Amino acid sequence: LFGKIGFCLLRKEMLIVELLAEEKMKKRRNDSLVADTMNSQRFFASNMELLKA
């Protein structure tokens, strides 16, 4: 019985760790998406400057 409880707790821990890792990955992906958007906007702005010049 105790082994079963310990196993369940261990699995719960593993799931929590996996969820946290997934959240981190999502956040990192979002951060890089934001960075990409910023870069493309900067790129677009510099191209507009070139067109105006």
Region 1-28: mean pLDDT is 88
- Return the pLDDT at 1: 66
Judged against a pLDDT cut of 80, whether residue 30 lies above it is answered with: yes
Q: Domain residue spans in the chain?
A: 24-53
SS3 content of the chain, % helix, strand, coil (to 5): 95, 0, 5
Structure tokens at 23: 């959240």
pLDDT band at 21 (very low <50, low <70, confident <90, very high): very high
Percent of the chain with pLDDT over 90: 42
* Model pTM score: 0.53
Residues 5, 25: Cα–Cα separation, whole Å = 30
* 19-25-16 Cα angle (round to 5): 10
